[in-house]
Amino acid sequence: MAIDPHQLNTGDTRTGLNLALLYSVPVLLWAAGVANEGAIPVAELALQCAGILFLVQALSVTLIAPWYAAQGSWQDGLVGLLIVLLVPLPLLSIIWLTGAVEASVLASGQSLVLGLATLLLVFSRSLNAVIPVALPRDIMIACVQVGAAAATWAFRHQWMALAGF
């Protein structure tokens, strides 16, 4: 699927970037604060940081993916989701460089979140097609967002273990 950058919705992209910054910056600031205190070893901090990052990333995706599906095109949704997922990538690379987490664990974690995002995007697009009326459709999308976020939180230990954490 070729993406024509001129046709993309910049509003959706900005929303994705804002969301990515909204969850990445607090994690970064928290990690910097703990590192400055020197209370826990760097490797342990990096491991915790990676775990938190994946959790908030997955929660963010559960909220934004159905919204993207309801708002714009496939391309807008995909680029927006990629921005949500890619913004903390430099932080993940630093976590990998500290040796706290294997690259395979980080890769499988990212793949899981990406898979979840794609699944929600496809499911929500299908809902769009099935329910043509706006109000019930929006209610269903909201239900999908809340349900997916709740399930992600409730089964966090299971899916994070699946990723190798």
Partner 1 sequence: MSQNLPSVCILFLLTTVVRAAAAEPSLTLDLQAAWDGLMRPGAASEISVRMLAGQGGQVELTLPDQQPPVRTTALLEANLPYTLWIPVHPPENGIVTVEARLDQGAAVRLETRLRPRTPQTLVAALLRTDAETPAERSEQSRTITLLRPAATSLPRTRAAYEVIDALVLDQDALAALDTAQRDSLRTWLQNCGRLIAVGTWSQWFATLEAEAGCGGRFIDRVDRAAQAYAKLAMTVRDLPSALPAETTLRAMLKQIHSSDPWLPLAGFFLLYLLALILLARDIRRPALLLLAPLSATLLSLLVWFNGTAGHRLSSWSEMESGDTTARFSALLHIDGNGRGTSTTTLPADLGLPTLLTANPAAEARYNRQPPMAVQIEVDNHLLSRHEFLLYGTSAVQYSLTLALSTDGPLLTNTGSVPTAPGLLGWQGSRYPVPSLQPGQHWSPPEQDTLWNPLSRAEQILRARTGTGTAAVLVPFLPPGIRGIKPQVEESGWLLIHTS
By the 8 A CB rule, do 48 and 36 touch? no
Q: Which two tokens stand for residue 33?
A: 């604060």
Residue from 82, 107, 140, 149 in contact with partner 1 (CB under 8 A)? 82
Q: With binding defined as CB under 8 A, does residue 90 bind partner 1? A: yes
Cα 44 to Cα 46: distance, rounded to the nearest angstrom? 5
Asked if 25 is part of the footprint of partner 1 (rule: CB under 8 A), the reply reads: yes
Question: Which 3 state secondary structure label does DSSP give 54?
Answer: helix
Minimum CB separation from partner 1 for residue 51, in Å?
A: 15
Residues 6+ apart with CB under 8 A from 143: none
Q: How far is the CB of 28 from partner 1 (least distance, A)?
A: 6
Site membership for partner 1, residue 100 (CB under 8 A):
yes
Q: Under the criterion CB under 8 A, does residue 42 sit at the interface with partner 1? A: yes
Amino acid in the structure at residue 159: W
8 A C-beta contact, residue 83 and residue 13? yes
Q: Do the beta carbons of residue 41 and residue 100 sit within 8 Å? A: no
Task: Write down the least CB distance from residue 116 to partner 1, Å.
Answer: 19
Closest contact distance (angstroms) between CB of 67 and partner 1 is 16
- Select from 62-70, 79-87, 108-116, 152-160 the region that touches partner 1 (CB under 8 A): 79-87
Q: How far apart are the C-alpha atoms of 48 and 115, rounded to whole Å?
A: 22
Residue from 52, 56, 94, 107 that binds partner 1 (CB under 8 A)?
A: 94
Residue 53 binds partner 1, judged by CB under 8 A: no
Complete DSSP assignment for 116-129: HHHHHHHHHHHHHH
Q: Which residues bind partner 1 (CB under 8 A)?
A: 3, 5-6, 8-10, 12-14, 17-18, 21, 25, 28, 32, 35-36, 41-44, 79, 82-83, 86-94, 97-100
